[in-house]
Chains A and B, each alone.
Chain A
Amino acid sequence: TQLLEQSPQFLSIQEGENLTVYCNSSSVFSSLQWYRQEPGEGPVLLVTVVTGGEVKKLKRLTFQFGDARKDSSLHITAAQTGDTGLYLCAGRSGTYKYIFGTGTRLKVLA
């Protein structure tokens, strides 16, 4: 069974600090996605990484896919209160199925 483990589970930081969230698996994924979800809403796609070692930047967010395509990280520079939310990674398993991680709940304090 493919699993995606995210760490940390919870993170509370001050505005302006940097942070890194990790997504790890013992399985290889053909692609991996990061989402952010706010309470009472569906997840919103942030980025898709498909190539081992790939790095993508989205403003203050930097995403990296591990060389072996088993892990990924999300780094946020100078966090803002608007970054608060549940961050989820998801890997494509097989042709159609997506496996989601357990999530990292981030709270950025003003």
Chain B
Amino acid sequence: DTGVSQDPRHKITKRGQNVTFRCDPISEHNRLYWYRQTLGQGPEFLTYFQNEAQLEKSRLLSDRFSAERPKGSFSTLEIQRTEQGDSAMYLCASSLFRHHNEQFFGPGTRLTVL
């Protein structure tokens, strides 16, 4: 296992389309986080899963955003009816319960909404 992986790495879509991103955490990491990062800014917290349970969601996560983590393994983040303001890097991170300070990040998915 080489780390957290995300797919796709880049996504270009037209405004109004739906997009879905996938994150595969490090094996046996039961904590999974999604962040959004815009140019020149630090990552902003979106949501957190412990196993399959979504325990916290940011107010940034509007009704157009939904995240799932079926079976507590990989996770998906879907954005419906994309807007130009959704253009950003979407980062996924995972950690072990007892080492929750140590988040390991994936390479991110860069979304461009035209």
Contacts and interface: CB of A to CB of B under 8 A. Distances in A.
A44 B23 CA distance: 17
A45 B45 contact: no
Contact of B104 (A4, A45, A50, A92): A45
B48 interface: yes
Interface in B22-49: 31, 33, 35, 40-45, 48
Interface stretch (A13-21, A35-43, A62-70, A77-85): A35-43
Contact of A101 (B42, B101, B102): B42
Contacts of A44: 105
Count chain A CB atoms within 10 A of each CB in B33, B42, B103, B107 and give the residue with the most: B42
A31 to B, nearest CB: 6
A61 interface: no
A99 B101 contact: no
A47 to B, nearest CB: 10
B41 A102 contact: yes
A97 interface: yes
Contacts of B105: 35, 42-44
B95 to A, nearest CB: 10
A90 B108 CA distance: 18
Interface of B: 4, 31, 33, 35, 40-45, 48, 50, 55-56, 58, 91, 93, 101-108, 110
Given A43-B91, A98-B103, 12 more contacts: A33-B101, A40-B110, A42-B4, A42-B107, A45-B102, A92-B101, A94-B56, A96-B31, A96-B50, A96-B55, A100-B35, A102-B42
